[in-house]
Structure 1
Amino acid sequence: MSRNAEVAERLEEYADLLEAQDVGYKPTTYRRAASNVRDHPDAIEDLVADGQDAVEEIDGVGEAIASKIVEYVETGSIAELEDEREKLPVDMAALTRVEGVGPKTVGKLYDALGVQDLDDLQEAAENGEIREVEGFGAKTEENIRDHIAFARQAGERDLLGDGRPVADDIVAFLEGLSDVERAEAAGSTRRWRETIGDIDVLAASDAGEDVGEALTEWARADETIEVGPTKTSVRSDGLRVDLRVVTPSEFGAALQYFTGSKDHNITLRNHAIGQGKKVNEYGVFDISDIDDPDSGQRVGDLLASETEEGVYDALGCAWIPPELREDRGEVAAAANDDLPDLVTESGVRGDLHTHTDWSDGANTIEEMLAAAEERGYDYYAITDHGEGPGVFGDSGLSGSDLREQMDEIDGVRDDYDLTVLHGVEANVDADGNVVDVPDDVLAELDIVVASPHSGLGDDGGDRTDRLVAAVAHEHVDVLGHPSGRLINDRPAMEYDAERLGEAAAAAGTALEVNANYHRLDLPGSAVKTAIDAGATVVVNTDAHSPSELDQLAYGVHTARRGWAEPADVLNTWTTEDVLEFLE
């Protein structure tokens, strides 16, 4: 795993600190550089090894920024960033998780009230001090106070997209050790839950002490928390990693147990008790003839332990995919051989919501189409932003811009071995109207994605009517990221998922599962509700660069958490069937 994201985060923090002090153009420059570093296909540490000139070849990275990148990779810190931290000693990440609090707000509240962290912010809000600061008022103070609890909760768990690559990297490292027979991620990471606590990893080995020591010496282990023959904990990229080493013959039972969820395991345990059996991290045991089944973990006749499939089979169940293990009826379905045939990454044939540098994307039409063709897609849609509130900067396209883009796309369609669709991501206003793109232009496009970008329910009010109106619009094909949430940054709008699903089914409008791991919107529970209501969902990346197309996996596994089968997911369909749906 490269250090690109790590370096990008330092550049973004530097930008935030500069913005908080009202520095002019530099924050934008550093954020652009951070985005390009994060998306760069080469590992930043490899570029640094080749010299600063190689780093400066990244778009938007000049001499000054490149020198900071080299300094950080080689020393672990940036002197100028440390200076800015001293000037503004605040917990920027935590404070800006509060809805409505950006870097400039942090700077003003620090200067006026000495606010450094969430505790200070809460105290100032509750004491009525924020409203007295110039440029603020009672409503702003109330909004800040109401969102502090969410910011605290968000800080307790990390994004799946930040943790999953670390878990995959650790598993690959462990699999390369001669003492390890098998290794797998477990816990919420394996279930593809949208946020994770610690990263749980399981290894099958008879040399637990050696495996634990090897992990502490792994190049990406920043800190050793504990090391032992069965459990070793390290910290990597700020994330705690807990490794459990189990005997190979009990690996399957341990993997099932440590994958969870807790509620799933309780239901499975009760299912076992009803059969005169018990299941735990050591295996499945027949305890029907045991007087005291609680006298030991391995008491009874061992029925299965080596594989997960064997564990479930010994309980009369089909193997349950990890994404379903949330105690939503999956155990009963497995016992009745009624589990869904879940959608897979390889079954996705195209992407129907992506961006280019015509709006706020980083790459040209040709570059994005080439990336889609490389992935073997049958079809691909370019849906740059229309004009309107909530769009980054002034990057939205007018009706005339879209017609001009239409001509450019028409000119390159035949150059690619896939069906190229041209569309727009339009804005849904507070009343559910599709705004800022004329209806006659919408009618000419191949696909219209309508998404809420502003007025996202800060007052906590229900927004179902707004979303229902949007899916009913005659030109709307897809409702994009319906709740408008940003995980750990902005709460979801309140809406009735069942009513939305029913409305989408009636209108023939697809509901998006936005695969960007900051969104994952619809979430799994809402996907299941929508499908049960008869709606079609579509897994889109909302990619703004070729590298973001790789986030498809997060959307597919989120759809799997919602029990989605291929027939439920629009972009697993053939090109002909997709075009018929869009008509």
Structure 2
Amino acid sequence: MTKPSESLPIIDEQKIGAHLKFHGLSGPEIDAELVDIEKSGGLPAEILRWWRGDAHTHSAESTREGFNYPEGLYHYEEILYYYEMLGLDFVCFTEHASLPQSPCVQEPTSAISQSLLEHTKRIHNLRKELSGKYRCLPFAGVEANIMYEGEKPRIDIPDEVLAELDFVIASRHRVPEEKRTELGDIRESLSSAIVNPYVNVIGHPDRDIQTKTEDPRAAEAYWQMWKELLGEMRLKNKAFEINLKAQPDPKLVQM
């Protein structure tokens, strides 16, 4: 929640600077990168004013067998060390569940569900190990997919697995074409995540939605839908994310 007289800044990636973007660096190279950040004055003050931690991070654990592309390059310790050097307070390792481009329902005994439970144990052990040594605390999470099973929206990870995690993001990545732009379907899928007791955050809330720009009447209906959804989210104590790579519409942030 923002302060009454203030609003969250819209972050422009181009202004952050290319020196903050890693390309598979590790160990001494990360140390050198941190020196460059320090020489340049660190992160912009306006970002540090609001950004005290990262609640959406993919480690190498997110690059699952069969994905055929990298979702994360760094291991827990490398990422945590980097954020510790930046002076942040926390990082949530929100690993991917099933393939975002082709989500599928996971059973509690599936390899992905079991890997998330193991991921949670490792993060919790790391937190104990670094207690008193690091300011930046690691938390175990997941970026689950909001998907459809037949005509019914659902999350791909079962509740009994979500219940073991510290933090859960639910995102619409790939839904059936006929479910992508109809406001009723959009609302139904988002509401299914909002009412889930284990979901904390709706990921990149208006990604892949073109309805709001097609005509004034559609835009009006779209924003009215979001007013109602935000009311539901407030009652359920949910949030939506402000993501550098998929920033929500400024109007949604202002609402």
- Per the shorter chain, which TM-score range? 0.5 to 0.7
Q: 1:420 to 1:527 in 2, by over 3 A?
A: same
Q: 1:376 to 1:492 in 2, by over 3 A?
A: farther
Distance 1:385 1:467 in 2: 18
Q: State yes or no: 1:411 paired with 2:125.
A: yes
**Does the 8 Å CA contact 1:456/1:493 hold for their aligned counterparts?**
no
Percent identity for Structure 1 against Structure 2: 30
- 1:180-237 per-residue CA deviation (whole Å, 9 max, x = no partner) reads xxxxxxxxxxxxxxxxxxxxxxxxxxxxxxxxxxxxxxxxxxxxxxxxxxxxxxxxxx
Distance 2:231 2:73 in 1: 36
Structure 2 equivalent of residue 445 of structure 1: 165
- 1:422-475 per-residue CA deviation (whole Å, 9 max, x = no partner) reads 11010111444112x221110011001110111165663111121122111111
**Does the 8 Å CA contact 2:59/2:76 hold for their aligned counterparts?**
yes
Q: Tell me which of 342, 359, 363 is aligned to 2:74.
A: 363
Q: 1:493 to 1:476 in 2, by over 3 A?
A: farther
Distance 1:453 1:423 in 2: 17
TM-score with structure 2 length normalisation? 0.63
Q: Give 1:114-263 correspondences, 5 Å limit.
A: none
Q: 1:512 to 1:493 in 2, by over 3 A?
A: farther
Q: 1:397 to 1:350 in 2, by over 3 A?
A: farther
Q: State yes or no: 1:524 paired with 2:250.
A: yes
Q: 1:378 to 1:456 in 2, by over 3 A?
A: farther
- Alpha-carbon offset, residue 357 of structure 1: 0.6
Structure 1 equivalent of residue 142 of structure 2: 424
- 1:336-390 per-residue CA deviation (whole Å, 9 max, x = no partner) reads xxxxxxx853232111111001112111111111111111111110000012452
More displaced 10-residue stretch of structure 1: 410-419 or 466-475: 410-419
Secondary structure at the aligned position of 1:484 is classed as coil
Larger radius of gyration: 1
- 1:28-82 per-residue CA deviation (whole Å, 9 max, x = no partner) reads xxxxxxxxxx73389xxxxxxxxxxxxxx9xxxxxxxxxxxxxxxxxxxxxxxxx
Distance 2:211 2:144 in 1: 18
Distance 2:77 2:210 in 1: 34
Q: State yes or no: 1:398 paired with 2:112.
A: yes
- 1:223-266 per-residue CA deviation (whole Å, 9 max, x = no partner) reads xxxxxxxxxxxxxxxxxxxxxxxxxxxxxxxxxxxxxxxxxxxx
Q: Which amino acid aligns with 1:434?
A: I
More displaced 10-residue stretch of structure 1: 349-358 or 461-470: 461-470
Q: 1:409 to 1:350 in 2, by over 3 A?
A: same
Q: State yes or no: 1:461 paired with 2:188.
A: no
Secondary structure at the aligned position of 2:241 is classed as strand
- Alpha-carbon offset, residue 493 of structure 1: 6.3
Q: Tell me which of 197, 215, 240 is aligned to 1:511.
A: 240
**Does the 8 Å CA contact 1:452/1:482 hold for their aligned counterparts?**
yes
Q: Which amino acid aligns with 1:450?
A: A
Q: Give 1:55-66 correspondences, 5 Å limit.
A: none
Secondary structure at the aligned position of 2:206 is classed as coil
Q: Tell me which of 221, 225, 228 is aligned to 1:499.
A: 228
Secondary structure at the aligned position of 2:98 is classed as coil
Q: Give 1:334-373 correspondences, 5 Å limit.
A: 344-359=47-62, 360-373=71-84
Q: Tell me which of 424, 427, 434 is aligned to 2:155.
A: 434
**Does the 8 Å CA contact 1:481/1:512 hold for their aligned counterparts?**
yes
Distance 1:397 1:515 in 2: 30
Structure 1 equivalent of residue 194 of structure 2: 471
Secondary structure at the aligned position of 1:444 is classed as coil
TM-score with structure 1 length normalisation? 0.29
Q: Which amino acid aligns with 2:202?
A: L
Secondary structure at the aligned position of 1:445 is classed as coil
Distance 2:111 2:170 in 1: 14
The answer for unaligned runs of 5 or more in structure 1 is 6-37, 43-56, 58-342, 486-490, 530-583
Structure 2 equivalent of residue 385 of structure 1: 96
Q: Which amino acid aligns with 2:55?
A: L
Distance 2:24 2:56 in 1: 22
Q: 1:432 to 1:376 in 2, by over 3 A?
A: farther
Q: State yes or no: 1:39 paired with 2:22.
A: yes
The answer for unaligned runs of 5 or more in structure 2 is 1-13, 15-20, 30-45, 63-70, 104-109, 213-221
Secondary structure at the aligned position of 1:513 is classed as coil
Corresponding residue pairs, total: 182
**Does the 8 Å CA contact 2:172/2:203 hold for their aligned counterparts?**
yes
- 1:153-198 per-residue CA deviation (whole Å, 9 max, x = no partner) reads xxxxxxxxxxxxxxxxxxxxxxxxxxxxxxxxxxxxxxxxxxxxxx
- 1:72-99 per-residue CA deviation (whole Å, 9 max, x = no partner) reads xxxxxxxxxxxxxxxxxxxxxxxxxxxx
**Does the 8 Å CA contact 1:432/1:468 hold for their aligned counterparts?**
no
Q: 1:523 to 1:411 in 2, by over 3 A?
A: same
Distance 1:355 1:397 in 2: 18
Secondary structure at the aligned position of 2:163 is classed as helix
**Does the 8 Å CA contact 1:385/1:391 hold for their aligned counterparts?**
no
TM-align CA RMSD: 2.8
- Alpha-carbon offset, residue 501 of structure 1: 0.9
Q: Which amino acid aligns with 2:89?
A: D
Q: Which amino acid aligns with 1:409?
A: I
